[in-house]
Structure 1
Amino acid sequence: MSSSRQGAAVELSVAEERKALWAKTKAALVELHAKHLTKYEWFLKADDDTYVIVENLRFFLLDKDPSQPLYFGYPFRVIVPGGYVSGGAGYVLSREALRRVVEQGLMQGRCRPDGSSPEDAELGRCLKNVGAIRVETRDVLGRNRFFPLAIEHFLAASALPRTWWIWRYSMHPVQTGKNCCSDTAVAFHYVRPQSMYLFEYLLYHAKVLGGPDERIHLRQLPPPPEL
């Protein structure tokens, strides 16, 4: 979704400015609801400076039920009672969560009608108002899968000063160093354009010869239905 037609992007009639992010998000959700609700089970929102490892996202969602009003992301504990998830880190809505946001929230006035508020906090309020459920996204070791800041700030403890807002905002204790990040991490925010190519190369092309083979075996999926 974009404010202008660029390649395959859907053009939305919303200004290209930060204060219009909630308006743009609402327009995108309405568009998805109108044209794609029955086609897909999950809907991912990510910024243009967010790198997403789609394979890990699919693995994470494998045992989740899209018919339930679920959403996922990096949770903050401020502003919205019960918290909300970071917009920059990317978040995922189930089909039912999207349906409720549009049909019960936006269409029935249970979500903020104007477009000038912080997008992620307003969506958090909207999700709360329609009874959506935030699902834990950390792994069994408590390591995050979604990251609202550049990954280097989490990998090196010295790169994440205690004065930064994230220490106060985060729902869970912030972890830094080698135990900061899940082996099945999903999304990283504030990735520079050049670094997108670096991520792509290191993840999909570089090989560690002689290293351990730690393949994750996904559970076998049922055969496709006979037509």
Structure 2
Amino acid sequence: MGVQRLEHVIRTVHKDMNPDFAFFVNDHTFVIPDNLCKFLKDRDSSIDIYAGHPLKGKQETVFNSGAAGYVLSRSTMEKLIDEWDKPNSKCSASGASQWIQNNPGLLTAKCFAEILNIRVLDTRDKDLSHVFHAFGLVRTVTGSVDQWYLDKHDALDTVLGKDTVRHHKPQAGASCCSPGTVSFHYVEGAEAFAFWEILNTVHSNPSITDDEIKSLMNEIWPRNRESLGFYAHGLPAPNSYGWWKGLVEVVRKIATVADPQKSC
């Protein structure tokens, strides 16, 4: 009953909290609240927003990754709920396949695209670096992501406009991630605590050296599969200079922009 659960959550958030915006994420998505606040700062909740990390197969509706998380504005939630309340709405759970029940965000995306005419946004920054990430820090920086994920970017030129530089695809190395990065996925508890401590340490001590950041990460980052979780990758080998350079640069630029302790 994935579709019904998602509908219940969106209805409850709108009714009980009535926020300007709501950010919907999976249970092991690492979120940087200050950057989320900055992403939303100059946006109007009366304007429809469906913002995250867009993906699209060749024959399917474009959707935002639920793993990376997506933002809905108050206006968007209201329109979605009004549509659900209509008899025989094509946006409702009635007749939804098991595949859709396991991937409820796809039905919502189809509703936005075909019924409500609410479009996804290109949320990358001015340097074409992504803000919302469907994999963890290490996999994102090293580019060790699943092929299906890369393939889901192939058709985005047709939806978001022609990108002759990167074709909307994720990049490896430091260019993977915007300083305004909001989320990483597949981050279990131990890694979340370690990442949070590193961001706080670097933010509060801008003069920290690259070697000190690397040493801190090696000291506190989880290493065994049980702690990391099945889909996460551990830190690179000590002699993997290129990947370490990218990791440290990404950590530094995110921590410099974001105050991990600050929220909206």
TM-score, shorter chain, exceeding 0.5? yes
Checking the alignment, whether the CA contact within 8 Å between 1:80 and 1:121 is kept in structure 2 is no
Matching of residue 91 in structure 1 with residue 77 in structure 2 = no
Shift of residue 42 of structure 1? 0.3
Task: Provide the rounded CA distance (Å) in 2 between the counterparts of 1:56 and 1:146.
Answer: 11
Alpha-carbon deviation of 1:134? Answer: 1.9
Q: Which has the higher helix share?
A: 2
1:56/1:185 contact within 8 Å kept: yes
Q: Secondary structure at the match of 1:183?
A: coil
Report the CA distance between 1:194 and its aligned residue: 0.5
Corresponding position of 1:55: 34
Partner of 1:220: none
The number of residues matched between the two structures is: 191
Asked if the contact 1:85–1:91 (Cα under 8 Å) also holds between the matched residues in 2, the reply is: yes
Aligned Cα root-mean-square deviation (Å): 2.3
- Between the aligned partners of 1:95 and 1:32, the Cα distance in structure 2 is 10
State the alpha-carbon separation in 2 of the partners of residues 137 and 44 from structure 1. Answer: 14
Per-residue CA deviations over 1:114-159 (Å, capped at 9, x if unaligned) read 46411221111122221223222100010001011222122113x2
State the TM-score, normalized to the length of structure 2.
0.66
Give the stretch that moved more between structures: 147-156 or 54-63: 147-156
Provide closer, same or farther for how the CA distance between residues 215 and 27 of structure 1 changes in structure 2, counting only shifts above 3 A: same
Going from structure 1 to structure 2, the CA distance change for 1:91 and 1:153 (only over 3 Å counts) comes to same
Gaps of 5+ in 1: 1-19, 218-227
Given the alignment, which residue of 68, 82, 85 partners 1:107? 85
Is contact 2:137-2:184 (8 Å) kept?
Answer: yes
Secondary structure of 1:92 counterpart: strand
Deviation at 1:174, TM superposition (A): 2.2
Q: Secondary structure at the match of 2:50?
A: strand
Instruction: Give the secondary-structure state (helix, strand or coil) at the position aligned to 2:7.
Output: helix
Read off the aligned partner of 1:113 and give its amino acid letter.
A
Deviation at 1:110, TM superposition (A): 3.5
Asked if the contact 1:46–1:90 (Cα under 8 Å) also holds between the matched residues in 2, the reply is yes
Name the residue aligned to 1:178: 174
Per the alignment, in what secondary structure is the counterpart of residue 135 of structure 1? coil
Higher RCO by CA contacts (8 Å cutoff, separation 6 or greater): 2
Taking the TM superposition and a 5 Å limit, the aligned residue runs for 1:1-227 are 20-37=1-18, 40-78=19-57, 80-81=60-61, 83-104=62-83, 106-108=84-86, 109-114=89-94, 116=98, 117=100, 118-128=103-113, 129-157=115-143, 159-160=144-145, 164-170=147-153, 171=156, 172-206=168-202, 207-209=205-207
5+ residue gaps, structure 2, are: 157-167, 210-251, 259-264
CA contact (8 A) 1:87 1:119 kept: no
Contact preservation (8 Å) 1:84, 1:120: yes
**What per-residue deviation string (whole Å, max 9, x for no partner) do you get for residues 8-39 of structure 1?**
xxxxxxxxxxxx332211111121232222xx
Identity over aligned pairs, percent: 23
Report the equivalent of 2:159.
none
**Comparing 203-212 with 48-57, which one deviates more in the overlay?**
203-212
Inter-partner Cα distance in structure 1 for 2:69 and 2:208? 34
| 1:122–1:196 Cα change, 3 Å | same
Aligned partners of 2:179 and 2:257 also within 8 Å: no
Cα shift readout 1:154-179 (whole Å, capped 9, x = no counterpart): 2113x236xx2111112322211111
